[in-house]
Amino acid sequence: MTAVDKVNQAYPATEGDPAARDAFMAILERRRSTRMFKETPVPRELLERLIRAATLLPTSCNRQLWHFVVVTEPALKVRVSDFSDAQQSYLYDAPALIAVFYDTSLETRNPCRTAEVTVGMTLGALLLAAEAHGLGAIYLGGIRRPSGIAKALGVPSYLRSFGLVCVGYRDDDPPSPNRRPVGDVLSFNEFKLAHERYHADIRPHLWKLSQIADFRDKLLWYKGVHIDGKTLHVDSDARFSPKFQYMIGRIGMMLAAYSEPRVLDVLSFNGDVVLQLLNACRGGVGALYAYDLTPGIARYIDERFRQLAPPGKVVGLVNAAAETVSIPLPDGHVQVISCYERLEHFEDPRPLLREMRRVLAPGGRVLLVVSNRFYPHLYRFKRMRQKNYSLGRNWNRGPERKYEPGQIRRLLEETGFRVTAVAGLQPAHLKGVAFVAAVFRRMGRHAVADRLADWCAQRYVTEGQGKYFSSSLAYELVKN
């Protein structure tokens, strides 16, 4: 069944010309932001046609105060691209950049922000027209200094810069990003929200489970951006951080003890840990369960792993109750559980721990990583003081608390776990030495830097009491 058939089935339509309707819906369904382009130049007439399409959309009072500058000249493209946020290399690769400007001087006082709406509509038409003409395109609002672009292109100051569109023949085939179901974003006659809104305050005691669920769901939609066929993640560097690597290494060792184990990752979010678990299960996996709180996240997981794992091996699980933690698995079902910095969401994490214990098979093992309250999380402290922490520009992890090792021990005892090993991940003193090593490396003193790095690697994680002064602690658990 094609995407358009699915739309027709879910939202039957009787009016209009069926062929035109389906063709239009097909363009909408097919359009993706393209981030990889072929070198082939786009003919000038085609670019003109795209701009024609863009200017057919409504403007307030039909003012049409926009201007488009198409940049194809390589040196100028580099100059313009340099104003974008770092990492957006596709700007340099696209054969044509279209800089979009609008004269906002007549419209800035309008409370409905008509200039912005007008430009938004224009851009929508531009992207859809590109798709209809077999081109790929992406709009980039991530511009560090829009005025720099205007200056580079000699655009007068009364025209406001509204970012760039990259256009070219696409060289990628990104999977379709999830869209929130219509039921989540639509109400008739009276405003109704499918979920309770998440809280604007970071302290976990203010959050209900449904709000945590909603927040995690939104965060995933927000950040689950596909780039180069991969997914750009919330904490993209977390995957490569030493503590993440440590956790994956340990859990790999746990998994090696089983053939075809059933594994559960708790609150999987975008599935980064699940992916590593999948890699660690070299000998085969019985089943890999990615449990989280919303159907949206489960859908995202299913989509992400459809091509990465044999069918049915990675299963997205949704919490089975509205206001309590309930993992939809039978008692004693899984041999290994991972839970990477997730207890922090909960004021009282015991229900989650109890559920983990319930689904754990006798003799099964758990790896739990928890942020440490004894560690000076200075940057977080700063953000936590900002009231709009979780809704601000830096959407991060949602409600969060830190636990001291003693608290964790008590909680684990109460919920029927026994700790078999503890490791401090990224202890403060080793971080200090690693910093010094990096300074030496920058100075070109590689031999010294290497010696210091080796020293860190040897002492990493388990060194004496020092491990408790560590950003996170990893606990290995069995059932008591």
Ligand X SMILES: Cc1cc2nc3c(=O)[nH]c(=O)nc-3n(C[C@H](O)[C@H](O)[C@H](O)COP(=O)(O)O)c2cc1C
**Burial of 282 (C-beta count, 10 Å sphere; 0-12/13-18/19+):** exposed
Q: How far is the CB of 400 from ligand X (least distance, A)?
A: 25
Q: How far is the CB of 2 from ligand X (least distance, A)?
A: 17
**Burial of 12 (C-beta count, 10 Å sphere; 0-12/13-18/19+):** exposed
Is 41 or 142 the residue whose CB approaches ligand X more closely? Answer: 142
Edge-to-edge strands, sheet with 136-140: 66-71, 96-103, 159-168, 136-140
Q: How far is the CB of 82 from ligand X (least distance, A)?
A: 14
Q: How many residues bind ligand X (CB under 6 A)?
A: 10
> Is residue 460 helix, strand or coil?
coil
Largest CA distance in the chain: 74
With CA atoms as reference, report the closest residue to 260 among 313, 304, 188, 186.
Answer: 313
- As given in the structure block, the two tokens for residue 120 are 């938004």
Q: How far is the CB of 290 from ligand X (least distance, A)?
A: 22
Is 84 or 415 the residue whose CB approaches ligand X more closely? Answer: 84
Q: Answer yes or no whether residue 32 interacts with ligand X by CB under 6 A.
A: yes
Residue pair 417/367 in contact (Cβ under 8 Å)? The answer is no
Q: By CB under 6 A, name the one of 51, 225, 287, 453 that touches ligand X.
A: 225
Query: x-or-dash pattern for ligand X, window 81-100, by CB under 6 A?
Result: -------x------------
For tokens 């810069």, the residue is 161
> Residue number with the shortest CB distance to ligand X?
142
Give the CA count within 13 Å in the CB-facing half-sphere of 440: 15
Is 163 or 424 the residue whose CB approaches ligand X more closely? Answer: 163
Query: For residues 123-182, which are near ligand X according to CB under 6 A?
Result: 138-142, 177
Query: x-or-dash pattern for ligand X, window 176-195, by CB under 6 A?
Result: -x------------------
Give the CA count within 13 Å in the CB-facing half-sphere of 230: 7
Q: How far is the CB of 32 from ligand X (least distance, A)?
A: 4
Query: x-or-dash pattern for ligand X, window 316-335, by CB under 6 A?
Result: --------------------
Residue pair 123/165 in contact (Cβ under 8 Å)? The answer is yes
Query: For residues 414-473, which are near ligand X according to CB under 6 A?
Result: none
> Footprint of ligand X on this chain (CB under 6 A)?
32-33, 88, 138-142, 177, 225
